[in-house]
């Protein structure tokens, strides 16, 4: 059964999200978006075992199903015949086939041609374990032509949809390669030492390298090895503060992702609950000099732990600069009374604060532009680790007003969103929904119809929850709130000290 719910903001008679609950037949199902019908509105696609499910305009009540044949491995969706409708291109053993997506089209795929590829072994594996097909890039556009990119034992071949060879590139052992990696180094302290003596200080340093064949830029990205899997968020190591600031984790200061201006961050202080920031930006000399020298500014400290998401660069005031988010909470078990209350209720107070970047001053404002007070699950606080009190964080523009909003899960089955306006955040969330099953991940964030509103795909073991953006930017502003935690960090710190007594 498919459930559709319209969730409304408390201060406006309009929908914020349409919530669509999509039950899964295979727990290994994956989802992605594609404009199947060419109407410039993305459709939600769910590859559910050998069943490819297309949800028109990402609505659960408008589903089309295409049954892939056993043995399918690599799958892509693209318009390969120029009729404006996408086809499903799949590798099935040595057969390259295409399924029509038009309503009423035959279920039997059209065989385009036959070719032994590296995907054939994956097809054999898929035949023994249904549910293993994966999404990858098969169809590319080059010089105005539609081509299929197919890896063979020693070459990546570009072929027409009739199977004619157009060009090939070496990918074997002797092929030209380049090194790609996420972050160059990570380091940690081994306690107790694993190699050195018990009284020694032992450091471990790791560097992960990925060697990939070198292709012309106009055929990238083409993955020739394995399907792309989700990358885990990198945990900020407390030891980072002892390194040179330019070796710290960082994020770009420009919303466009430019790497020239960056903010380096680390943790220090008691229980690593203070964030330290160094801002790197060009020295003075005029904006007409893009080659200006970059300089790392002085250290600035902010009470609280920085909260980052690899896929989000939040801009809460729409000025084009990335802003900072911190979380704060009293230390667990400061007093017997506080511990008793926490254990009985299973929750612990926490605050989320947003701090705007001030480009003229080259720093983040110490005064929060918004504050969210909430109670988080005590079980989400692992001992000795500065882990955030909330999960499944999304910091994107979800209502189309040009400013980022803040969404997260405070309980396993819920998701809430607070809109950020000139007055900050409202006291209560502008959107809140309780789901049928616990949320396990944020599967996707997407501007589904090009109107600047972020739709969200949440994942559980048995469901995909589609939060389809339905808000309009002409929301009324939230009412002013009498909450001292939003006024300044000093008041927030005083509030935390009161809880610690």
Considering only residues 338 and 347, tell me which one the structure prediction assigns the higher pLDDT: 347
pLDDT at 365: 95
Residues 268 and 403 in one domain: yes
Domain-embedded: residue 282: yes
The whole-number pLDDT of residue 106 equals 82
Mean pLDDT of 465-470: 92
CB 24 within 8 A of CB 464: yes
User: Does residue 418 share a domain with residue 309?
Assistant: yes
291 & 421 share domain: yes
Render pLDDT for 145-177 as a digit per residue (tens, 0 to 9): 999 999 998 889 999 999 999 999 888 777 676
End-to-end CA distance of the chain: give it in Å, rounded.
51
pLDDT for res 284: 63
| Residue 207 to residue 184: CA distance in whole angstroms | 6
Can you tell me the distance from the alpha carbon of 341 to that of 337, in angstroms, rounded to the nearest whole number? 6
Please tell me the predicted confidence (pLDDT) of residue 11.
38
Looking at the domain assignment, is residue 391 inside a domain?
A: yes
Same-domain status, 123 and 250: no
pLDDT category of residue 206 using cuts at 50, 70 and 90: low
Which residues does residue 205 pair with via DSSP β-bridges, in sequence order?
Answer: 187
pLDDT tens digit sequence for 357-372: 999 999 999 999 999 9
CA distance 373 to 380: 16
Do both 254 and 337 map to the same domain?
Answer: yes
In this structure, the answer to whether residues 158 and 260 fall within a common structural domain is: no
Sign (positive/negative) of CA torsion 471, 420, 426, 458? positive
Residues 242 and 378 in one domain: yes
Same domain for 82 and 157?
Answer: yes
Q: Is residue 192 part of a domain?
A: no
Assess whether 243 and 95 both reside in one domain.
Answer: no
- Which segments within 347-448 are labelled E, that is strand? 347-355, 357-358, 363-364, 370-377, 391-394, 406-409, 414-418, 431-434, 441-446
User: What pLDDT, in 10s, does the model give residues 9-65?
Assistant: 433 434 789 999 999 988 888 899 988 988 888 899 999 989 999 998 888 888 899
241-245, 333-337, 469-473 — which is least confidently predicted? Answer: 333-337
The answer on 269 and 134 residing in a single domain is no
Q: Would the pTM count as exceeding 0.85?
A: no
Name, in order, each residue with C-beta under 8 angstroms of 230's C-beta and a sequence gap of 6 or more. Answer: 441
Q: What pLDDT is stored for residue 396 in this prediction? A: 96
- DSSP 8-state class, residue 380: G
Give 262's Cβ-side CA count (13 Å radius).
15
- Alpha carbon of 294 to those of 228, 254, 357, 431: distances in Å? 34, 15, 18, 42
Tell me which residue range forms the domain holding 147.
25-170
Q: What is the pLDDT of residues 417-452, one digit of tens each?
A: 999 999 999 999 999 999 999 999 999 999 988 889
User: Are residues 479 and 372 part of one domain?
Assistant: yes
Contact 188, 239 (CB under 8 A): yes
Question: What percent of the chain stands above pLDDT 70?
Answer: 71
Helices and strands (H, E) in the chain, number of each type: 3, 37
Percent of the chain with pLDDT over 90: 41
What distances in angstroms separate CA 290 from CA 195, 257, 313, 321, one per listed residue? 48, 15, 22, 18
Q: How many CB atoms lie within 10 A of CB 35?
A: 14
Asked whether residue 384 is assigned to any structural domain, the reply reads yes
CA–CA distance, 255 with 397 (Å, rounded to integer): 12
> For residue 240, is it within any domain?
yes
CA angle 424, 454, 59 (to 5 degrees): 135
Tell me which of 152, 170, 188 is where a domain ends.
170
Question: Per this entry, what is the length of the chain?
Answer: 501
State both tokens at 168: 């090939």
Last residue of a domain, one of 170, 194, 214: 170
Which pLDDT score is estimated for 238? 58
Banded model confidence at residue 225, pLDDT cuts 50, 70, 90? very low
Cα distances (angstroms) measured from residue 308 to each of 159, 179, 324, 406:
42, 26, 8, 12
In a domain, 62, yes or no: yes
Domain boundary (123, 152, 170) is at 170
Say what the pLDDT of residue 163 is. 96
pLDDT score, position 274: 87
Number of domains in the chain: 2
What is the pLDDT averaged over residues 243-266? 84
The Cα 75–Cα 87 span in angstroms is 10
Residue 215: inside a domain, yes or no? Answer: no
User: Which pLDDT belongs to residue 98?
Assistant: 96
Measured CA distances, 414 to 314, 365, 393 (Å):
22, 31, 12
> Which pLDDT band, with edges at 50, 70 and 90, does 342 fall under?
low
Structural domain includes residue 417:
yes
Residue 127 has pLDDT above 60, yes or no: no
Q: Are residues 256 and 123 in the same domain?
A: no
Q: For residue 112, what pLDDT band results from cuts at 50, 70 and 90?
A: very high
| Whole-number pLDDT of residue 489 | 47
Q: Which of 83-92, 231-240, 251-260, 342-351 has the lowest mean pLDDT?
A: 231-240
- pLDDT tens for residues 286-296? 555 555 678 88
Strands 63-67 and 51-55: antiparallel
């Amino acid at each position: 059964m498919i459930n559709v719910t319209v969730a409304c903001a408390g201060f406006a008679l309009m929908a914020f999200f349409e919530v669509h609950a999509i039950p899964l037949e295979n727990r290994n199902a994956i989802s992605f978006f594609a404009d199947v019908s060419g109407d410039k509105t993305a459709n939600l696609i769910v590859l559910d075992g050998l069943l490819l499910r297309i949800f028109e305009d990402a609505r659960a009540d408008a589903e089309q199903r295409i049954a892939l044949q056993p043995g399918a491995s690599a799958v892509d969706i693209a318009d390969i015949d120029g009729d404006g409708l996408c086809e499903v291109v799949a590798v099935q053993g040595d057969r390259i086939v295409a399924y029509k997506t038009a309503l009423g089209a035959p279920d039997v795929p059209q065989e385009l041609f036959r070719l032994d590829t590296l995907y054939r072994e994956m097809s054999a594996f898929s035949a023994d374990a249904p549910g293993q097909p994966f999404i990858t890039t098969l169809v590319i556009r080059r010089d105005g032509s539609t081509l299929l990119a197919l890896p063979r034992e020693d070459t990546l071949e570009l072929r027409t949809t009739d199977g004619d060879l157009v060009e090939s590139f070496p990918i074997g052992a002797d092929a030209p390669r380049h090194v790609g990696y996420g972050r160059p180094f990570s380091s940690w302290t081994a306690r107790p030492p694993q190699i050195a003596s018990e009284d020694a200080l032992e450091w471990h340093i790791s560097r992960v390298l990925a060697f990939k064949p070198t292709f012309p830029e106009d055929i990238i990205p083409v993955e020739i090895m394995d399907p792309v899997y989700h990358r885990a968020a990198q945990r900020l190591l407390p030891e980072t503060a002892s390194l040179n600031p330019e070796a710290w984790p960082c994020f770009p200061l420009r919303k466009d992702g430019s790497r020239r201006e960056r903010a380096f961050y680390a943790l220090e202080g008691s229980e690593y609950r203070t964030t330290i920031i160094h801002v790197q930006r060009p020295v003075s000399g005029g904006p007409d000099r893009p080659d200006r020298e970059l300089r790392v500014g002085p250290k600035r400290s902010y009470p609280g732990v920085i909260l980052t998401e690899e896929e989000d660069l939040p801009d809460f005031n729409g000025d084009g600069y990335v802003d900072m988010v911190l979380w704060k909470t009293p230390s667990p078990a400061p007093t017997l009374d506080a511990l008793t209350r926490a254990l009985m209720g299973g929750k612990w107070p926490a605050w989320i604060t947003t701090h705007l970047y001030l480009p003229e001053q080259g720093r983040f404002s110490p005064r929060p532009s918004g504050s969210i007070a909430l109670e988080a699950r005590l079980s989400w606080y692992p001992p000795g680790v500065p882990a955030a009190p909330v999960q499944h964080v999304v910091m994107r523009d979800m209502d189309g007003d040009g400013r980022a909003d803040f969404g997260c899960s405070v309980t396993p089955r819920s998701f809430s969103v607070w809109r950020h306006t000139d007055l900050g955040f409202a006291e209560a969330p502008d959107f809140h929904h309780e789901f049928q099953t616990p949320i396990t991940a944020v599967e996707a964030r997407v501007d589904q119809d090009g109107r600047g509103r972020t739709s969200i795909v949440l994942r559980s073991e048995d469901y995909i929850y589609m939060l389809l953006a339905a808000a309009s930017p002409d929301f009324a502003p939230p009412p002013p709130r009498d909450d001292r935690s939003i006024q300044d960090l000093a008041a927030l710190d005083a509030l935390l000290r009161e809880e610690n007594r």
